[in-house]
Amino acid sequence: MSDSTSNIISTILGGLGATVYATVGGIALTIVLAFLAGLAMLSRSRTVRFISRVYVEGFRGTSEVVQLFWLYFVLPALVGFKLVPLFAGIVVLGLNHGAYGAEIVRGAVQSVPPAQREGAVALSFSPAQRMFRVILPQAVVEMLPPFNNLFIQLMKSTALLYFISAGEITEKGELLRPVYGSQLVLIYGVELLCYLAIAVIITIVMRVLERVLSRRLGRAAPKRQNVWARAGAA
């Protein structure tokens, strides 16, 4: 391998850490916010429903890049301190995808057959027991395929952190471009392979989770599929 080739590959792989951090951190925040806002949208209190609606529509309605610019460039002007780029990125990725995830959680909880709820009432379960022992275990299995799509969407969005110089793959590649202009095929090729690999890993993890959780519910495990074939459209 020539010097420039190994230099290109090692520089881009140097950004892999930041990309993985942003992806994992973003996914963790997404899960927390999606459950909070999704369950809040089903609350009996009008105020709680209203607040979660505002969060969901606000973050789904404005562009993700605009949110990133706002948090990174406007917030410092308002509060006087700047967030570390990678941290700011994780916050925006989580807030944005959490809003989309909230609809997934709400839809999945609503799709649990009403008889299940009635059965839990008949067994005089408390509302918390009803939710955590009966409704959610069934709803979570339904959420996994759409969450798989959402997480891959999130992983792709980490490329936007290029705009705030968080040191991830895309930024590394763009720093190499002026120097290694004749080797763009290699630069973009390595970047694409990194993203593809993460996407495949996310899909594999979600598939395994789906099999494990549906077996626990005593349901037939979903059929084995090609890892490339994600369920449904995003």
Partner 1 sequence: MEWNWSYVWESIPLLLKGLLVTVELTLLGSAVAYVLGLVLALLRRARIPVLSQLVYLFIEVVRSTPLLIQVFFIFYLLWPALGITPSAFLTGVLALGIHYATYTSEVYRAGIDAIPKGQWEAATALSLPRSRVWTGIILPQAVPRLLPALGNYMISMFKETPLLLSIGVLEVLNRAKEQGAATFQVIEPYTLAGILFLLISYPSSILVRRLERRVGQL
**Backbone angle region of 111, left / alpha / beta, with phi > 0 → left and psi within -120 to 50 → alpha:** alpha
Specify the residue, 21 or 130, whose C-beta has the smaller distance to partner 1. Answer: 21
Specify the residue, 171 or 214, whose C-beta has the smaller distance to partner 1. Answer: 171
- The contact set with partner 1 (CB under 8 A) reads 57-58, 60-67, 69-70, 73-74, 77-78, 152, 156-160, 162-163, 170, 173-174, 177, 184-185, 188, 191-192, 195-196, 199-200, 228, 232-234
CB of 120 to partner 1, least distance (A): 30
Specify the residue, 135 or 190, whose C-beta has the smaller distance to partner 1. Answer: 190
Helices 169-176, 3-14: axis angle to 10 degrees equals 150
Assign 3-state DSSP to the chain and report helix, strand, coil percentages, each to 5. Answer: 80, 0, 20
Specify the residue, 105 or 155, whose C-beta has the smaller distance to partner 1. Answer: 155
Q: Using H for helix, E for strand and C for coil, what is the string for 82-106? A: CCCHHHHHHHHHHHHHHHHHHHHHH
